[in-house]
Structure 1
Amino acid sequence: MKGKGKVISISLAVILVAAVSAYFAWPEKKEGISWPSKQALPSFNTPAETLDMIYTTDSYYYQAENETFGHETGKADGDGWVAAAGTDAANKAMLDVTGRKEIPAGDIKAAFNLQVDNFADEDGVVATLEVRDQTANAVLASQEVKNWDFRLPNASQSFELSFTAPGEGHELEFKVLWTGKSTVKLFDVGVFWPLRKEENLLFTSLKGIVNEKQPRIYSYTDNVRGSTGTSMLDHLGLKYTEVKDNWELVDKYRSEIKGLIIYDDQQPDTINLATTMAGLKHGIVTPPSLADKLAGEPYNLPIIEDLRGKFSSKLDVYQYLYDHYWKQTTHKAIIGLDPGIQSYLRDYAIGMDAAVVWLNPGDDSESKLLDKFFQDMPYGEGLYLGWWPDEGMGVKKTADYGLATVASDFSSNLSVLSGTSREITMPKAPEKPKLENKLYVSFILSDGDNLQYMEHSFWNLWNNPSRGEVPIGWTISPLMVDTMPGMLNYLYSQATPNDAFVSGPSGVGYTYPNFMEKEDGLQKFIERTNSYMEQSGLKVLTVWNYVKGEIKPEVGDKLAKYAPSLLGFTSQFGTGTIGVYNNSMPGQELNVAYGSAESDVTGGIADGLKNWDGKSPGFVSIQANPWQVNYQNFVNAVNMYKDNKDVVFVRPDVYFQLMRESKGLPVDPK
């Protein structure tokens, strides 16, 4: 009996240990997904040879300056197309978007976003807007825009045309005919079909369930036509078949769907609860308007959970999630997602069994509930994917718990891209020039830590035909090793000798490391950053916001100690101050911390020359944001100083090699 009792005691102990382990850990391997303990984010299976490509967008934007569209008059003007009175040819199309096959059948709204430079003394037509069915040779909608229709000069105004689209087999045309009466700028033409939004949520959750086993569904979510689109699939060698009707996939993958999880449209946050449950129960997130259709013939899907009428507030929803499902989800990562964002990231959240929340640190009650989730996550290693109601407060909140934010709320296809090959080939960096008494200038383009930016807007900059003309540091996330390794490898294969990649803030995620109180947690974060930067071939780190003051004033020394592979790092504040940390690593506060215009770039160089004594090497590091500064702005800045023999433009990695040499440090940290 004693022996038997002893066996029972041991068994109970084993059960308790297993329970605790299940609470704090996520299995390293489950069907379709692997997540080794030292890996920050999971790897999905290799994508299927041919993917089902679906459209999960309820709008498109045709950017007026896109050169692939028709223009008979005017010229590009940064963020739009301008036809100038008295200069450009009148009564011609300033934009003609033809052959559009992607507009679905039904009630559609087109919005033409224009501005006029000033009001004429007499009213008159400045432009005619038109939507045509080219196939049927019929005008679907048109409007004359008069000078006095504008409310303000030099301010964007939307002119809407409603029409009924014929659907498949018909090509549509969107045209702006300019009369020449006033100078007009056209920003874009937006096309919207709001009734499809709820379906997009449904099919994004279906994608999450299907791709967890093996990535087989890819979403086209780019609402800017003529941008990335499906070109990334081509670059990665992934084949796809365009799905004409998304509902076909409910039949195709019916055996993998366990049922329906119906959210409450009166409590939008139940969308996040339903998404969390979808990962754990393999049910599809279902809008109330589509519940009867899915529960009836021909689908006959059972209802797993109906969340309607169960919650009186947002806090009730997330408290329920915490009480009933948090223990079952991974604690390595948590998703922060506005319930209004329905076609993005949710597939990735479902695949990794992550909790999805939307809690504001600026609200006391919501902040306290968020604390409950965060205190269970691994300090120095946990990640918060998505975004925040307020950036500063959110990033500070994660730093308080030793976590890092990974901007990704509009990421479209991480459940596919994370299954691509992790073999990354990095080209050899150019040789460092001889150190001289020159002013060395380095450019950095910010925001590459943002995974959605790397999926979408980044490519508009990267595909600039001038790329390679000037040295530049493109910020990217070291987490691309986990989330989109194939894309990272493709970038390296296309990089010119003037293209360098550096880490976005602040390494393995965006955080304020100087707010991490726990010494061992800060060390873990920096060591993981060092590991991922080595894996991704990055040698320069950008830290937001700084490495001095606050809770941990010695972050610079910690970076030097625990990330010894780095050449150096930048931080914010715009002083240009250079320090050597732990006697081994240089760090510089950027001269221009987040430039928003070409004048910031050229002005930073001018200030650097003004403050340089010319008796020793000088260093000016300029960071600009990609939303207001484009590649041509950097080209223009270099051309402005091309005849100045004292100014030398170099990549950020070469820049820090030169800085290291000037400080008496080994050029190669190894």
Structure 2
Amino acid sequence: MVYGPYTTDIPAGEHTAFFDMIIDNNTADNNLIVTVDVRDNTTGQVLASRDIHRQDWSYTSNYERFYLPFTNPAVGHELEFRVYWYGAAYTKVDKVGSLTESREDEEVLFTTLKGLVNRTQPRIYTHDNPVKNEEGKYNWLNSLGLGYADVSDNWTLLSKYASEIDGIVVYDDAVPDTINLATTIASLNDGIVAPPSLVNKLTSAPYNLPILDDLRGDYANKLEVYQDLYDNYWPTLPHRMIVGLRPELKGFLRDYAMATGTAVIWLNPAVPAEDALLRDFFADMPYGSGVYMGWWPDEPVGVGTASEYGVSTIASDFSSNLTVFGGTPRTVNVKPVPNKPPLEDKIYVSLILSDGDNLQYLEHRFKKIWDSPNRGAVPLGWTVSPAMLDAMPGVLNHLYDTATANDALIAGPSGVGYTYPNYWSNQTYLDNYTALSGDYMDRAGLRVMTIWNTITGPTNNNVGESFAANAPGLLGMTAQGGGGGNVTIFGNSLPSQALNATYCYSYETLELEIGNAVAGWDGTSPRFVSIQANPWDVGYQDFVDVVDHYNSNSNIVFVRPDTYFQLMREHYNLPIDPSAAASNS
């Protein structure tokens, strides 16, 4: 799957290769999926190798990092980072590369410094992490009009902001989860997190930072770490938000946890003892407005468990600069929905790009597609998160400023956060959540949303009725599962349609799924076809090509998702603009 890049600039000595890979199923069996290795192409010697089996993945549908230590024999040798795939599962590779231990140690130090410093105003922005930074080093900074100056040596930042740093909190390499507790403690005490390898340097001149807390030797395992966090720190922390972050991720979202002063945990609800402790945290959070930021060891189990407590998930573990984006101006200049064309006996097709609920995708991948030179050539629904109003308001405003008439921003699952609404057992709390989501979507200008109840579950009637009653600005909803193309009207006011196809992964699948959905149409009434594609495999040109493919058929009309639901509403004799109807009632 991967070979090369024959890099020659890695110094001689000890290093760690990383491989970011995704798998679609991590429980079916424990077959060998890939072998990764580091090879010296100059000599032909394999320097290190590792077999990775299905169950080595902690979760599905999101990239996970695998490490491989190796020794580079000499500087200047051509090194390859290779991935051999055995064909036993759907697997993709994102980024591969090499880290030195000192670089990773510095990452946690400067990420927590960034969180501390940016707590009052954005002053540090990072772009040097080798993973997920597809947006380019300066792309967002330039797009948002943020001035910047490159720092040649990160260590100068410690001196520059010395007056704001009260000391260091040292984590224990032997118990990796102590890095999460150290992040929480440092946030509470205006400190920064220090790896053991840098303690001597940080406590000596010119930094002379005192040790606020040293966690080395205090805990035997992760459960002890998080039990102590729950017993002795959680009571004084804000309960509306909690951060779920793998200890191996020493950077990324960790700055946001520092800046907001929230608890940082990594508990797997599929493990009984961890599940019990996780539920203790959730039980203390406000039902209906609690937020879990980060990600899960297992998506459906994690999101489902949180949903039972009225806690929604905001995927964001690889978000790098929310402490900058969250500090940009809050004004969002929403563009109105354009006038719809006359309803005819045609086949109306809506194309949607998935994953917009994921803040890290919005930061690192979205803009690469958004900046396509021919964007605007075809109507497309771009899913985004209503939580951008808090976490990335400037980015949301930029999207509206640069949107064409064919670009429609719509909400990803399932409202203000990713949750399974069917799991909410208390109707009052559910109503509060749908009202909160309705408010966020109104202010973000999002008139269409997607509902998820696991990957394939239909939307329960009480859930649809709640959105109809409490989010009157919605034109319509798509459902991830429950019968492709079927339309349900909730509350006699809100149409909801199960997507005809989900996660199309190529031009060919787009063409095939549209062809299947339009087949058999008799021409006597409109037909509505909604097709979703994933942004990791499908590019903007694929949408352009598939629209071009069907342009010869005058009975097929491609429209924006909001226009699509306006046409559907007219067909079902519903108000074309429900928010206007609600305000006039």
Please indicate the TM-score interval, normalised by the length of the shorter structure.
0.7 to 0.9
- Which amino acid is the alignment partner of residue 315 of structure 2? A
Give how far 1:579 is off.
Answer: 0.9
Q: Does 1:661 align with 2:570?
A: yes
Instruction: Provide the rounded CA distance (Å) in 2 between the counterparts of 1:580 and 1:408.
Output: 33
2:107 match:
200
Pair 1:282–1:165, CA change in 2 (3 A): farther
2:550 match:
641
Q: What are the within-5 Å matches in structure 2 for residues 36-47 of structure 1?
A: none
Instruction: Provide the rounded CA distance (Å) in 1 between the counterparts of 2:272 and 2:18.
Output: 42
1:89 match:
none
**Gap regions ≥5 residues in structure 2:** 20-39, 51-67, 82-92, 581-585
Is residue 349–residue 355 contact of structure 1 (8 Å, CA) maintained in 2? Answer: yes
1:214 match:
121
Is residue 514–residue 548 contact of structure 1 (8 Å, CA) maintained in 2? Answer: no
Give how far 1:327 is off.
Answer: 1.2
User: 1:14-71, CA deviations, whole angstroms, 9 ceiling, x for partnerless residues?
Assistant: xxxxxxxxxxxxxxxxxxxxxxxxxxxxxxxxxxxxxxxxxxxxxxxxxxxxxxxxxx
Q: Does 1:476 align with 2:384?
A: yes
Pair 1:210–1:106, CA change in 2 (3 A): farther
Pair 1:145–1:465, CA change in 2 (3 A): farther
Instruction: Provide the rounded CA distance (Å) in 2 between the counterparts of 1:640 and 1:355.
Output: 51
Is residue 429–residue 497 contact of structure 1 (8 Å, CA) maintained in 2? Answer: no
Instruction: Provide the rounded CA distance (Å) in 1 between the counterparts of 2:393 and 2:94.
Output: 34
- Which amino acid is the alignment partner of residue 350 of structure 2? S
Find the residue that maps to 2:205 and give its secondary structure: coil
1:460 match:
368
Pair 1:284–1:161, CA change in 2 (3 A): closer
Is residue 576–residue 590 contact of structure 1 (8 Å, CA) maintained in 2? Answer: yes
Is residue 548–residue 555 contact of structure 1 (8 Å, CA) maintained in 2? Answer: no
Question: What TM-score, normalized to structure 2?
Answer: 0.84
1:578 match:
487
Pair 1:416–1:106, CA change in 2 (3 A): farther
Instruction: Provide the rounded CA distance (Å) in 2 between the counterparts of 1:254 and 1:306.
Output: 20
2:42 match:
143
Pair 1:104–1:215, CA change in 2 (3 A): farther
- Which amino acid is the alignment partner of residue 321 of structure 2? N
Give how far 1:550 is off.
Answer: 9.1
Pair 1:417–1:227, CA change in 2 (3 A): closer
Instruction: Provide the rounded CA distance (Å) in 2 between the counterparts of 1:325 and 1:194.
Output: 30
Instruction: Provide the rounded CA distance (Å) in 2 between the counterparts of 1:561 and 1:348.
Output: 34
Pair 1:552–1:636, CA change in 2 (3 A): closer
Q: Does 1:287 align with 2:186?
A: no
Pair 1:95–1:312, CA change in 2 (3 A): closer
Pair 1:496–1:332, CA change in 2 (3 A): same
Q: Does 1:411 align with 2:411?
A: no
Instruction: Provide the rounded CA distance (Å) in 2 between the counterparts of 1:105 and 1:245.
Output: 19
Instruction: Provide the rounded CA distance (Å) in 2 between the counterparts of 1:112 and 1:257.
Output: 32
Give how far 1:624 is off.
Answer: 1.2
User: 1:203-259, CA deviations, whole angstroms, 9 ceiling, x for partnerless residues?
Assistant: 111111111122211111452677432211111111111111111111111111111
Q: Does 1:223 align with 2:101?
A: no
Give how far 1:553 is off.
Answer: 4.0
Is residue 547–residue 571 contact of structure 1 (8 Å, CA) maintained in 2? Answer: no
Match of 1:347 among 242, 252, 255: 255
Pair 1:95–1:209, CA change in 2 (3 A): closer
User: 1:615-656, CA deviations, whole angstroms, 9 ceiling, x for partnerless residues?
Assistant: 100000011111122222211211111100110000000000
Instruction: Provide the rounded CA distance (Å) in 2 between the counterparts of 1:175 and 1:269.
Output: 32
Q: What are the within-5 Å matches in structure 2 for residues 241-640 of structure 1?
A: 241-545=149-453, 553-573=461-481, 575-640=484-549
Instruction: Provide the rounded CA distance (Å) in 1 between the counterparts of 2:215 and 2:454.
Output: 44
The worse-fitting range, judged by mean Cα deviation, of 543-552 and 253-262 is: 543-552
Instruction: Provide the rounded CA distance (Å) in 2 between the counterparts of 1:497 and 1:382.
Output: 35
1:42 match:
none
Q: Which has the larger radius of gyration?
A: 1
Is residue 440–residue 647 contact of structure 1 (8 Å, CA) maintained in 2? Answer: yes
Give how far 1:341 is off.
Answer: 0.4
User: 1:350-391, CA deviations, whole angstroms, 9 ceiling, x for partnerless residues?
Assistant: 111100000000011101101111111110101000000000
Give how far 1:287 is off.
Answer: 0.5
Pair 1:546–1:385, CA change in 2 (3 A): closer
User: 1:398-440, CA deviations, whole angstroms, 9 ceiling, x for partnerless residues?
Assistant: 1100010000001101111101011111233332111000000
Find the residue that maps to 1:426 and give its secondary structure: coil
Pair 1:95–1:262, CA change in 2 (3 A): closer
Counting matched residue pairs gives 526
User: 1:539-560, CA deviations, whole angstroms, 9 ceiling, x for partnerless residues?
Assistant: 0011113799899542111111
Is residue 295–residue 303 contact of structure 1 (8 Å, CA) maintained in 2? Answer: yes
Instruction: Provide the rounded CA distance (Å) in 2 between the counterparts of 1:595 and 1:226.
Output: 22
- Which amino acid is the alignment partner of residue 42 of structure 2? Q
Pair 1:608–1:381, CA change in 2 (3 A): same
Instruction: Provide the rounded CA distance (Å) in 2 between the counterparts of 1:331 and 1:511.
Output: 18
Is residue 201–residue 285 contact of structure 1 (8 Å, CA) maintained in 2? Answer: yes
Give how far 1:106 is off.
Answer: 7.5
Give how far 1:343 is off.
Answer: 1.0
Pair 1:108–1:653, CA change in 2 (3 A): farther
Is residue 262–residue 291 contact of structure 1 (8 Å, CA) maintained in 2? Answer: yes
Find the residue that maps to 1:506 and give its secondary structure: coil
The worse-fitting range, judged by mean Cα deviation, of 241-250 and 602-611 is: 602-611
Instruction: Provide the rounded CA distance (Å) in 2 between the counterparts of 1:575 and 1:513.
Output: 20
Instruction: Provide the rounded CA distance (Å) in 2 between the counterparts of 1:190 and 1:280.
Output: 35
Is residue 236–residue 487 contact of structure 1 (8 Å, CA) maintained in 2? Answer: yes
The worse-fitting range, judged by mean Cα deviation, of 214-223 and 255-264 is: 214-223
2:24 match:
none
Question: What TM-score, normalized to structure 1?
Answer: 0.73
Pair 1:110–1:188, CA change in 2 (3 A): farther
Instruction: Provide the rounded CA distance (Å) in 2 between the counterparts of 1:643 and 1:327.
Output: 64
Q: What are the within-5 Å matches in structure 2 for residues 122-137 of structure 1?
A: none
Instruction: Provide the rounded CA distance (Å) in 1 between the counterparts of 2:478 and 2:568.
Output: 12
- Which amino acid is the alignment partner of residue 620 of structure 1? V
User: 1:259-281, CA deviations, whole angstroms, 9 ceiling, x for partnerless residues?
Assistant: 11110100000000000111111
Is residue 106–residue 164 contact of structure 1 (8 Å, CA) maintained in 2? Answer: yes
Pair 1:173–1:638, CA change in 2 (3 A): farther
Pair 1:425–1:549, CA change in 2 (3 A): closer
Instruction: Provide the rounded CA distance (Å) in 2 between the counterparts of 1:633 and 1:358.
Output: 38
User: 1:587-621, CA deviations, whole angstroms, 9 ceiling, x for partnerless residues?
Assistant: 00000022223233112211122142321000000
Pair 1:226–1:217, CA change in 2 (3 A): same
Is residue 261–residue 284 contact of structure 1 (8 Å, CA) maintained in 2? Answer: yes
1:128 match:
none
Instruction: Provide the rounded CA distance (Å) in 1 between the counterparts of 2:457 and 2:44.
Output: 56
